[in-house]
Chains A and B, each alone.
Chain A
Amino acid sequence: MTEAIVLFADNDSNFLKTRTDFLVQEGYRVIPAADPAEAQSLLIQGGVDLAILDIRLRDDNDEKDISGLTLAKEVARSIPKVILTDFPSVGAAREALRPQADGLPAAVEFVSKKEGPQVLIQAVRRALGPDAAWMRMVKQAVEGTDNELKEDYDNAQKQSAANYWASLGVAVVGIVIIFLGMALVLGNQLEIGVASTVGGLVTEGISYLFFKRVDAANERMDQYHEGRIEGQRFGTLLRACDGLDSERKRGRCREQVIKAATKRWLGASEKDEKSQ
Chain B
Amino acid sequence: MVVNHSLLLVSERKETQWSRTLRQALLPLGKLRVVSEEDAEQMVVRSDYDVIIIDAGVVYGVVPLISRLRAQRPEARVIVATASPTWRRAREALQAGAADYIRKSLDEEELCSKIEAVLKLPPPQLR
Residue positions of A touching B, CB distance < 8 A: 88-90, 92-94, 97-99, 101-105, 109-110, 112
Q: Which of A88, A89, A92, A103 contacts B122 (CB 8 A)?
A: A103
Q: Is the CB of A99 within 8 A of B99?
A: yes
Q: Is the CB of A94 within 8 A of B121?
A: no
**Complex formed: what's the CA distance from A49 to B124 in Å?**
23
Collect the chain A residues with CB atoms within 8 Å of residue B123's CB.
103
Q: Is the CB of A99 within 8 A of B95?
A: no
Q: Is the CB of B99 within 8 A of A88?
A: no
Provide the B54-85 mask, 1 if CB < 8 A to any CB of A, else 0.
00000000000000000000000000000001
Nearest A residue to B85 via CB reads A90
Q: Is the CB of B122 within 8 A of A93?
A: no
Q: Which of A89, A98, A101, A112 contacts B94 (CB 8 A)?
A: A98
Collect the chain B residues with CB atoms within 8 Å of residue A103's CB.
121-125
Q: Is the CB of B94 within 8 A of A105?
A: yes
Distance to closest chain A CB from B11 (angstroms): 21
**Residue B91 lies at the interface, judged by CB distance under 8 Å to chain A:** yes
Total of A-B residue pairs, C-beta within 8 Å: 43
Q: Is the CB of B87 within 8 A of A98?
A: no
Q: Is the CB of B87 within 8 A of A92?
A: yes
Distance to closest chain A CB from B67 (angstroms): 16
Give chain B's interface residue range (CB within 8 Å of chain A).
Answer: 10 to 19
Of residues 88 through 127 on chain B, the ones whose CB sits less than 8 Å from some CB of chain A are 90-91, 94-95, 98-101, 120-125
**Residue B86 lies at the interface, judged by CB distance under 8 Å to chain A:** yes
**Complex formed: what's the CA distance from A101 to B121 in Å?**
6
Q: Which of A88, A94, A104, A109 contacts B101 (CB 8 A)?
A: A94
Q: Is the CB of B90 within 8 A of A102?
A: no
**Complex formed: what's the CA distance from A112 to B87 in Å?**
10
Nearest B residue to A103 via CB reads B122
18 contacts between A and B (CB under 8 A): A88-B87, A90-B86, A90-B87, A93-B87, A94-B90, A94-B100, A97-B91, A97-B94, A98-B94, A98-B98, A99-B121, A99-B124, A102-B122, A103-B121, A103-B122, A103-B123, A110-B87, A110-B91
Distance to closest chain A CB from B102 (angstroms): 8
Q: Can you name 19 extra interface pairs (CB under 8 A) apart from A93-B87, A98-B94? A: A88-B87, A90-B87, A92-B87, A93-B90, A93-B94, A94-B90, A94-B94, A94-B101, A97-B94, A98-B98, A99-B99, A99-B121, A101-B120, A101-B121, A102-B122, A103-B121, A104-B125, A110-B87, A110-B91
Collect the chain A residues with CB atoms within 8 Å of residue B91's CB.
93, 97, 110
Nearest B residue to A109 via CB reads B95
Q: Given A93-B94, A103-B124, A98 and B86 touching (CB < 8 A)?
A: no
Collect the chain B residues with CB atoms within 8 Å of residue A90's CB.
85-87, 90, 101
Collect the chain B residues with CB atoms within 8 Å of residue A88's CB.
87
**Complex formed: what's the CA distance from A204 to B124 in Å?**
81
